[in-house]
Amino acid sequence: MNHIKNKVQLITYPDSLGGDLRALNEILQKYLKDIFTGGIHILPPFRASGDRGFAPISYFEIDPVFGTWEDIKKISKDFDVMLDLMVNHISRQSKYFQDFLKNGRKSKYAALFLTIDKIWGNTNPTKEDISKIFLRRPNPFSTFTIGKTGIQETVWTTFGKSDPSEQIDLNIESNKTKKLFKAILNKYHKNHVKFVRLDAVGYIIKKAGTSCFFVEPEITKFLDWITNITKRKHIVILPEIHAHYSIQFKLAKCGYWIYDFVLPFMILETLINKSSQRIYRYLKDRPPNQITMLDCHDGIPINPDLNDFYEQEETTKIIDICLNRGANLSYIFSAGQKSKKNIVHQIRGTYYSLLDCNDDAYIAARAIQFFTPGIPQVYYTGLLAGTNDYEKADAKGDGREINRHNYDMKEFQYAVEQKVVQRLLTLIRFRNDYPAFNGNFLVLDSNPDELKLSWQKEDKKCTLNLDLSTYKSVVEYVDIKGKKIEFVL
C-alpha cells in the first residue's frame, strides 16, 4: 500500500481561506501548522471555465487570481499537497477542444475526444443503449458545429449544466490522452505534489451495452497504467468513485486508497436516530485503507453509495429532516427511476447545519470519524463549523454553493475562535499525536444508545465513549507516564 501519513488532512478551494493561495499559506502557517499535518487537498486551482475549477482549461497554469505554481511549492514545504486530475473530462475552452471545434476530424487533438462513432460505429445509440447508462445529466452527449466544414459532431459529455456542456469527456483509449496525462503528472511531480485524486474516474470507460460506469476490465487496466507512472514519481493516487460499496472494497483489496462514502450518512443517521446498531456492524467489517470524511465540496452521498445498507424509507426519513434544516438535494438521471425519492444522489448543506447547529452532536460526529480506521479529511467549512450559505447558493444558481462559503481573513479569525471550533482543534491534535491510532482498532460492545471505539498499540490505549442520548463524548487514554486520563471533548 502506498505511503500516506496517518494524520488529519484539510480540503479547501484555493480561494476559500483568505482569498488566494498566498493567504491560504499564511493561515496554515499562523493558525493550523500543527493541525493538518496529514496534508492539504487543494481543490482545482487551475484556469477553468466552470464547475468551480472542475472544468480545467489547462493544468499547466495556475489561475492568476489564485497565484502561481510557486505558491503551491511554498505550501508543499510544510504540508503534503493533493491536487485533482479530472481524468474524465476537460474544458471546452481548452486549446485542445477549441482546435477540434475549428478543424473537426482533421484537428491534431481529435483523438482526445469521444465522438459517437468511436463507441457505436456507424449507428446511433438506441433508447435501450441510453437507458443502461449511469447518467449525471439528462443527455450524456453534446453537439457542436465544426467551424471549417459546418459539419455537426456529437461528443460525449458526462457532466455539465449547460447544453452544450462545458465539460468535454476525454478518450482514455487514445495515446494522445495518455501522453497528456503523463505531462500533467510530470508537472505535478516537479511542483512537489504528493497525492493526486482521480476525479470522476468511474466514468472514463464508455462501452456500448454497458452502464459506462466502472466498466471492467478496462478501468482496472487504466488504473494499473496510471499507477505505474505515479509510483515512479512517488505520488499516491486516490480514485474518486461514487459507487456501490462492493466496487470500492474491490479497489481497496487491490491496495488503493478509497473514499468511505458510506460513513457521512451513517454518522448522521446514528446521531439523528440516537442508535449505534447500524454503524456498530459497519465498523466491524470495512477495509482500513479509506479516506474518511463528513463533508466536501459536493454533498453527503446517498445513491448509489448507500445501496444495500439502507432501505428507501430509512434514507427518506433522514433526507426529510435535512431538508427541514435547510439542505437541498442533487439527483441521478438514470432511466427507470420512477420517483425523485429513489434517485437522490447527495444531500447538500454544511454538516454543522445538518446536525441542527448542535455543538455536542457535531463534536460527536467528528469523534466517530477520527476514531474510524482511515485517514480523516476535514472540509474547510466543517473546520470552521460553517452554516448553510443560502445567499450564495441562490446567487450562483447552484445548490452545492450552500456549502462553499468563502472566508476572508477577518472572518476566518472570528470563526476559528468559536468554542466548537476550538474543541474540534483539540480533538484533531489528539488524533494526530496519540500513538495508539497506529495500532489495532476495536468496536466494543455497548448498548444501542452508546458507541464505544478503541485503539491500542503496546501500552498506549484510547477509547471513545459516546452517549447518543446526550451526544456527550468522553475519551479515555493512557498518557506517557502510564496514567489513565479521561476528558470530555
Residues annotated as catalytic (active site), given as ranges = 199, 240
Whether the upstream peptide bond of residue 304 has omega within 30° of 0, thus cis, is yes
Q: Show the cell assigned to 266.
A: 451513517
Residue indicated by cell numbers 479515555: 476
- CA neighbor of 168 nearest in space, from 252, 247, 88, 224: 88
Residues 22, 24, 30, CA angle at the centre, nearest 5°?
105
Neighbouring residues of 206: CB distance < 8 A, sequence distance ≥ 6: 114, 119, 156, 169, 212, 215
Contact 384, 418 (CB under 8 A): yes
Cell numbers 471550533 correspond to what residue? 421
Query: Is-contact 45 14, C-beta < 8 A?
Result: yes
Residue 7: HSE in the Cβ half-sphere, 13 Å Cα cutoff = 18
* Spatial distance between the Cα atoms of 305 and 293, rounded to a whole number of angstroms: 14
Dist. CA 37–CA 39, nearest whole Å: 6
The dihedrals phi and psi of 205, each to the nearest 5 degrees, come to -95, 120
Report the alpha-carbon distance of residue 485 to residue 462 in Å, rounded. 9
Instruction: Tell the burial category of 278 from Cβ atoms under 10 Å away from its Cβ (0-12, 13-18, 19+).
Output: middle
Query: Which residue do the cell numbers 473514499 mark?
Result: 259
Residues whose CB is less than 8 angstroms from the CB of residue 330 and which lie 6 or more positions away in sequence, other chains included: 298, 299, 344, 345, 346, 348, 399, 400
Contact 453, 270 (CB under 8 A): no
- What is residue 166's DSSP assignment? S
Coil, helix or strand for 324?
helix
The C-alpha atoms of residue 58 and residue 60 are separated, in whole angstroms, by: 5
C-alpha cell of residue 252: 481497496
Q: How far is the C-alpha of 101 from the C-alpha of 119, rounded, in Å? A: 20
CA angle, 420 as apex, 263 and 463 as ends, to 5°? 55
Phi, psi dihedrals of residue 415, rounded to the nearest 5°: -65, -40
433 Cβ neighbours under 8 A, 6+ residues apart: none
